[in-house]
Structure 1
Amino acid sequence: MAKVIILSGAGISAESGISTFRDDNGLWENHKIEDVCTNGCLITNREQTIKFYDMLRVGLEDKEPNYAHKIVSNLKNKYPNDIAVITQNVDDLFEKAGCTDVLHLHGFLKELRCEKCNTIVNIEYEKQFKDHDNCPKCNNLLRPNIVFFGDSAPKYKDMYEEFETCEVFVVIGTSGAVIYTDMFLNPQIKLSILNNLQESPYINDTVYSKVLYKKASEAIDEIASDIEKYLLN
């Protein structure tokens, strides 16, 4: 179990050209959240939902990791047992940067999941619609392996287990609206770093050891230095 947890959200990938999950207008890539990311949308709006994630998946192919992804990857590879990289993002930019063992809390865009037997199928950057409709194992319908609002999120259990040994907690690019990051700041956490572009009404920045309101790529060197100092002391 890791001493350091780096929890990221959409802010870390925004500099790579990936839109944040929910803009001020309540949309995601010009789609209503309730239409494409809410439990039941595959029943009431299946074709549009699948085509939406096809668009995101195909568009992901030419996206490149930015400096922040690369530094986090370097840290993880240098201290593989001491650092856990956890993300709310469904993109593969950490993986493209060479990061291993990334915990994707809300699913992974390149994967499909069988609605019956939960078989996982990686289709890379291909479209699902009409090309990958059925499970190769049981022939039931496949769906994007994305956690919709109202779905269970089984990877949260893995996240909570990581926090059992966490001493350094780093938050990068998340508003705290989906995961209330403040709740993890128990006495066991010796160092906490918050890096967002701006203040969020869902986060009390006074309870963090250090707050950096700037782009992730501009803050990451200082964050990496603080992590290494802690691990080497």
Structure 2
Amino acid sequence: MRDKIIIFSGAGLSASSGISTFRDSDGLWENHNIDEICSAGCLDWNYNATINFYNQRRVDIKDKLPNNAHKMIARLKDKYPDKIEVITQNVDDLLEKANCKDVIHLHGFLKELRCMACDEIFHIGYEIQDNSNSICNKCASKLRPNIVFFGEAAPMYEKLYSLLEKCDLLVIIGTSGNVIDVNYLSHFANYSILNNLEPSSIIYEENFEKIYYEDANTAYKKIEEDIENYIMKREND
């Protein structure tokens, strides 16, 4: 039965909160080669530099605050906990800071470390990863940021596609479509809404019933109203 509403977000959701991405021309990713700090295998030959980079990113998110769009998603998830699924490509914690429950992070979470051998997860919060907390207390292997690097398997994708099979309404917020093909995702849903800052050459508008080209921090009211109206309509059908 297709009865799920999926809110799927990317970096554009957090842009107004000051979280930079590797597609920005400035910020934390500037002067870093992505292949050296965010690609499969980089921990084998560039461990310290990679760890230091994610230490910087963890510090960067500590004082960042959720914007209107994060709060809107949290409100809807709280109001319709069994109907709405929140799935994000973002590794920040702004949805959690907005008190959003059960967020699915497709590409990992900055506030966690993962054992490189046994995959045990450790919560590090905003701490710096250093010699004092880089060894797994279960198997004594090295820990790494719990982030999915380019070229690595993404375990949560299985969860994503399982939920898409039940998707009635799909809401895409703030993603260019370069990492995950949102055109493909839209085909799972009966109705799709897109919110991006501007058009993307690889996202086809005909796949979406509604499109808002503006910051998620200002589009949130329209999106919230759309979702509420859609739920009401379905309940009255």
Q: Do both proteins adopt the same fold according to a TM-score greater than 0.5, normalized to the shorter chain?
A: yes
Q: Which residue in 1 is equivalent to 2:143?
A: 142
Q: Percent identity?
A: 53
- Counterparts of 1:190 and 1:41 in 2: how far apart (Å)? 41
Q: CA RMSD in A?
A: 1.5
Give 1:5 shift: 0.5
Q: 1:191 maps to which residue?
A: 191
Query: Which residue in the other structure is 1:210 paired with?
Result: 210
Please list, as runs of the form range in 1=range in 2, the aligned pairs for 1:127-166 lying within 5 A after superposition: 127-166=128-167
Q: Provide the rounded CA distance (Å) in 1 between the counterparts of 2:30 and 2:154.
A: 23
Residue 49 of structure 2 corresponds to residue 83 of structure 1: no
Compute the displacement of 1:190 (Å).
2.5
> Counterpart in 2 of 1:61?
62
The Cα shift of 1:2 comes to 5.6
Per-residue CA shift, 1:114-161, capped at 9, x if unaligned?
Answer: 011111000100011223110011111000000001110000000001
Give the TM-score, by structure 1 length.
Answer: 0.95
Paired residues of 1:54 and 1:129 also in contact (CA < 8 A):
no
- The answer to whether the 8 A contact 1:11-1:20 is kept is no
Contact 2:164-2:189 within 8 A present in 1 as well: no
Q: What CA distance in whole angstroms lies between the structure 1 residues aligned with 2:221 and 2:198?
A: 18
Question: Is the 8 Å Cα contact of residues 109 and 145 (structure 1) preserved in structure 2?
Answer: yes
Distance 2:30 2:79 in 1: 36
1:19–1:29 contact (8 Å) kept in structure 2: no
Rounded to whole Å, the distance in 1 between the matches of 2:117 and 2:71 is 37
Structure 2 stretches lacking a partner, 5+ long: none
5 Å matches for 1:1-233? 3-23=4-24, 28-186=29-187, 189-233=189-233
**Is the CA contact (8 Å cut-off) linking 1:2 and 1:162 kept in structure 2?**
no
Assess, with a 3 A threshold, how the Cα gap between structure 1 residues 125 and 24 changes in structure 2: closer, same or farther.
closer
Q: Is the 8 A contact 1:205 1:211 kept in 2?
A: yes
Q: 1:201: Cα distance to partner? A: 1.5
- Counterpart amino acid of 2:202? Y
Question: What CA distance in whole angstroms lies between the structure 2 residues aligned with 1:230 and 1:69?
Answer: 20
Give TM-score, length-normalised by structure 2: 0.94
* Matched positions, count: 231
Query: Any idea what SS the aligned residue of 2:140 has?
Result: coil
Stretches of structure 1 that go unaligned for 5 or more consecutive residues are: none
